[in-house]
Chain A
Amino acid sequence: MDNLSELLHGFTIAVTVPHLLLMAIGVLLGILVGVLPGLGAPNGVSLLLPLTFGMQPVSAIILLSSMYWGALFGGSVTSILFNIPGEPSSVATTFDGYPMARDGRPTTALATAFGSAAFGALIGVILITFLASWVAQVALAFGPPEYFAVYFLAFASFVGMGGAAPIKTVVALAIGFAIAAIGIDTVSGSVRLTMGVDELVKGVNFVVAVMGLFGIGELLVAVEEEFHARAVSSKIDWREVFRAVGRLPRHSVALLRSAAIGCWMGITPGGPTAASFMSYGIARRFSRRGRYFGTGEVEGIISPETADHAAGTSALLPMLSLGIPGSATAAVMMGGLMIWGLNPGPMLFVDQKDFVWGLIASMYVGNIVAVVLVLLTVPVFAALMRIPFVVIAPLIVIICVVGAYSVSNSYLDVVMMLGFGVVGYLFKKLFYPLAPLVLAIVIGDKAEDAFRQSMLLSKGSLGIFFANKLVTCLIVGGIALLLLPLVLQLTRLGRKPAPSANETTAQEKVII
């Protein structure tokens, strides 16, 4: 195995005292920027970038990538504890993570999230190790129609899954698409939907939308309820950290499925956000306890977290081998590569073996360092939940306001964030689902670009979506996922008129 000996060589580079120290520093800084919403991994990495100019490239990338791992973990903390996702990819973690934490089990929620995240990352890096050259080829096969098909698949796997009334899902999606359309359109270059507000030309930043929708929205709902009851008395129990991690193997099906989805989306490159949503959607449909999703299910945390980290890790591969960044953070790191005098691209693997394999080896070690450090902090973070709501609530407002402002030092963002808070509140009150809205805001414009680029390529013929095996499979898969609930419903209806007495009761139990 060629790759294996290269990897061992990489370990001799990564596992040295200065590099291990750099990893620990990077991870801790990363957790910090991940926990502070509005800062996030891309900003954190770009702040650190100038410090690395004097370093060896391999040391620099180890520091930056460790920071990335730390931030990915840190981003889950606020999602679970306060319902404020720091990164687009940790939105899906809030769906079950937050209810579980509110239920008095923050330690379990955090430990489960970190454990499954580490598993996802590990699978991602194993994939990179053994399939590097093959994976690079897969990504090349993706033109605009294939990109669109991947996004379509992500939407389909998430949207049709029920929960809310289908029409409400469609409405939420449509609003999301409209928000994603604000700003300059890539394909025509024209300014859309700015409604005379000059600053809106930049579009609506995801962080601003999500902090309002989730952070402030949840707060408004909470204030309306009896808020004295909302302080959670959670027991700080170190053993629970290990127990939660120990219980993970019981969900091996969910873990493996999510890791597979994550790797696939990371390579293709649908990205970690699409991966986590898709994984959550599919888990909800196929899990035996699917209908309890949203109330604090363990698999509802495992699925998005595993997929997120598997995708986040494997997304570094297209960056190295093709020079196309799979995420915002990867884009910043790529800028770094150029400044260090390395050109990302196929030749990196030939010219810069020490760099590439040192980095890959550091992904194994860095993730282990990260998960150990982050598991140690679980009780500390969980203790935050004991702080009474009257103290936490203003803090959440402050975090959201500062976070929204720091995105681009803009007051308008703060106003929009509060506006999104009201939208989030209304959505909850009227039982509209927030997830499709967020998904559409995050990948709606990318899907639109890909669709219109495809139409330019084909001169307006939809046949381009069935032009080769790859794109046909993706599209057919998406349509199947979309129609599955409908078909299930129809078969149920079909069976209902003439069942035996026993079957009826069994059927009813399932529906209830």
Chain B
Amino acid sequence: MGRTSIFLFSAAAAVLAGTMPALAAWQPQKPIEFVATAGPGGGTDNLARAVQNIITKHKLTEQPIVVVNKGGGSGAEGYVYGKASAGDPYKVIFGTSNAWQQPLVSKVAFNYTDLTPIAAMAQDEFLLWVKQDAPYKNAGDYLKAAAAGEFKMGGAQSKDTDEVLTRMIEKAGKVKLTYIPFKSGAETAVQLAGGHLDSHVNNPSESIGQWRGGTQRPLCVFSPKRLPQGPKVTATEGWSDVPTCVEQGLDIKQYEQPRTVWLPGKVTPEQAAFYVDLMKKVQATPEWKDYIEKTSQVDTFLTGAEFDKFIKEDLEHVRQVAGEQGWLVK
């Protein structure tokens, strides 16, 4: 056998190997781009990099994965990019509920319907935080004090999840709060530690260091039941020791921020199915459990009809709040 025939043989094998899985299900044939709709270091970016790391480590796909950050315009940059890449199954967009909330309140050039939903992985909880030495011990005291004076509530971005929740608190607690938007939750936490704000509604991972360090503490969590027991955060308390807001008379049963995964629009069902399956495999790894625990999020997995239902419900809810505040854009 000469060199040519060996070459031909291996070429034929390569062609066979290439086509065989394609008959069974769609498989990626070139590198995949993970688009984080946030700057480096933020929660969304961490998720994209954690997923990339897990996929690479467990070799869940043959193709290399690169993470790019498109966090401009509160994430709009990444979604617009996803919209412009319609039909391209090699771009996976990582975001939050921003994907459907942002188009409601600002004139951005995309809507979540321009994208193909893959899954909601991990939910971030919201808590009501006050400065460590604040006089109130529970949400009831807080509301009483807030009714007397005008409290300053900080949060990340404007007309986004934090401000929506602030407006819900106003309504449920019959108080008036001055909302001050900052660039990120981390920045807001520092402002509270410095005493420039009265409270904020950060996610656990945004303020865990501050809680442990004794500069601020959570009053209650916006969740139907208490958070799962984890390792203690301070010497005496952990996340499961934080009462729910409903328990304390602040009637907001549930408010969560899902971390969402999308493909551009106009991809085939087979392509979408591949990524749903991929994310399921990611979620089954011990590294994923580790990531969830370290970032104090709640492990969930919504896809297909369930995910759709979640979006519709959340959208309805936000539209109501935004309508009352006069934020809706035509």
B105 interface contact, C-beta 8 A = yes
- Nearest CB in chain A: distance from B241 CB, A: 18
Among B221-241, those with CB < 8 Å from A are none
Which residues of A sit under 8 angstroms from B179, Cβ to Cβ?
456
- Nearest CB in chain B: distance from A4 CB, A: 24
A397 interface contact, C-beta 8 A = no
Per-residue CB contact flags for chain B residues 141-167 toward chain A (1 = under 8 Å, else 0) read 000000000001000011110000000
A262 to B62, CA, bound (A): 48
Pair B183/A189 contact, Cβ less than 8 Å: no
A348 interface contact, C-beta 8 A = yes
- Nearest CB in chain A: distance from B68 CB, A: 6
Looking at the complex, which of B74-82, B121-129, B243-251 is the stretch in contact with chain A?
Answer: B74-82
A344 to B56, CA, bound (A): 27
Pair A323/B180 contact, Cβ less than 8 Å: no
Q: Which of A198, A328, A408, A453 contacts B70 (CB 8 A)?
A: A408
B212 interface contact, C-beta 8 A = yes
Pair B74/A324 contact, Cβ less than 8 Å: no
Q: How many residues does chain B have at the interface if contact means C-beta atoms less than 8 Å apart?
A: 60
A191 to B329, CA, bound (A): 11
Pair A331/B190 contact, Cβ less than 8 Å: no
Pair B209/A143 contact, Cβ less than 8 Å: no
Pair B77/A189 contact, Cβ less than 8 Å: no
Pair B194/A325 contact, Cβ less than 8 Å: no
Pair B40/A42 contact, Cβ less than 8 Å: yes
Which residues of B sit under 8 angstroms from A203, Cβ to Cβ?
72-73
Q: Which of B72, B187, B208, B291 contacts A183 (CB 8 A)?
A: B72
Which residues of A sit under 8 angstroms from B50, Cβ to Cβ?
339
Contact A341/B294 with A189-B181, A190-B106, A324-B187 known, Cβ cut-off 8 Å? yes
Pair A345/B72 contact, Cβ less than 8 Å: no
Pair B69/A46 contact, Cβ less than 8 Å: yes
A12 interface contact, C-beta 8 A = no
B53 interface contact, C-beta 8 A = yes
Q: How many residues does chain A have at the interface if contact means C-beta atoms less than 8 Å apart?
A: 54
Pair B213/A338 contact, Cβ less than 8 Å: no
- Nearest CB in chain A: distance from B213 CB, A: 3
B108 interface contact, C-beta 8 A = yes
Among B168-206, those with CB < 8 Å from A are 178-183, 186-187, 189-191, 193-196, 205
A457 interface contact, C-beta 8 A = yes
Pair B77/A201 contact, Cβ less than 8 Å: yes
Closest B residue to A185 using CB positions: B158
Pair B46/A190 contact, Cβ less than 8 Å: no
Pair A201/B80 contact, Cβ less than 8 Å: yes
Q: Which of B46, B67, B80, B158 contacts A186 (CB 8 A)?
A: B158
A140 interface contact, C-beta 8 A = yes
Pair B68/A345 contact, Cβ less than 8 Å: no
- Nearest CB in chain A: distance from B47 CB, A: 11
Q: Which of A324, A333, A408 contacts B190 (CB 8 A)?
A: A324
A449 to B183, CA, bound (A): 9
Contact A183/B158 with A201-B109, A339-B49 known, Cβ cut-off 8 Å? no
Which residues of B sit under 8 angstroms from A346, Cβ to Cβ?
209-210, 212-215
Which residues of A sit under 8 angstroms from B213, Cβ to Cβ?
345-347
- Nearest CB in chain B: distance from A258 CB, A: 27
Which residues of A sit under 8 angstroms from B183, Cβ to Cβ?
186, 449
A142 interface contact, C-beta 8 A = yes
Which residues of B sit under 8 angstroms from A50, Cβ to Cβ?
49, 52-53, 56
B107 interface contact, C-beta 8 A = yes
In this complex, the member of A143, A328, A333 whose beta carbon has the largest number of chain B beta carbons within 10 angstroms is A143
Closest B residue to A335 using CB positions: B41
A331 to B71, CA, bound (A): 13
Closest B residue to A453 using CB positions: B180
Per-residue CB contact flags for chain B residues 21-55 toward chain A (1 = under 8 Å, else 0) read 00000000000000000011110011001101100
A187 to B63, CA, bound (A): 41
B295 interface contact, C-beta 8 A = yes
Q: Which of B41, B53, B72, B189 contacts A201 (CB 8 A)?
A: B72
Among A155-210, those with CB < 8 Å from B are 183-191, 198-199, 201-203, 205
Per-residue CB contact flags for chain A residues 213-244 toward chain B (1 = under 8 Å, else 0) read 00000000000000000000000000000000
Pair B46/A189 contact, Cβ less than 8 Å: no
In this complex, the member of A190, A201, A333, A341 whose beta carbon has the largest number of chain B beta carbons within 10 angstroms is A201
Pair A142/B194 contact, Cβ less than 8 Å: yes
- Nearest CB in chain A: distance from B17 CB, A: 28
Closest A residue to B42 using CB positions: A335
Closest B residue to A142 using CB positions: B194
Which residues of B sit under 8 angstroms from A345, Cβ to Cβ?
208-210, 212-213, 215
Can you add 19 more A-B contacts, CB < 8 Å, to A188-B159, A198-B110, A456-B180?
A50-B52, A50-B53, A140-B195, A141-B194, A144-B196, A185-B158, A187-B158, A188-B158, A191-B73, A202-B71, A323-B189, A323-B210, A331-B39, A338-B46, A338-B295, A341-B294, A346-B215, A408-B69, A409-B68
Identify the A interface with B (CB < 8 A). Answer: 42, 45-46, 49-50, 53, 139-144, 183-191, 198-199, 201-203, 205, 322-325, 328, 331-335, 338-339, 341, 343-348, 351, 408-409, 449, 453, 456-457, 459
The 6 closest A-B pairs by CB, nearest first: A202-B72, A345-B209, A346-B213, A143-B196, A189-B158, A335-B41
Of the A-B pairs whose beta carbons lie under 8 Å apart in the complex, a sample of 28, sorted by A's number, is A139-B190, A143-B191, A184-B74, A184-B76, A186-B157, A186-B182, A189-B106, A198-B80, A199-B77, A201-B72, A201-B76, A201-B108, A201-B109, A202-B76, A322-B190, A323-B190, A323-B210, A324-B187, A328-B40, A335-B46, A339-B50, A343-B209, A347-B214, A408-B68, A449-B183, A456-B178, A456-B179, A457-B180
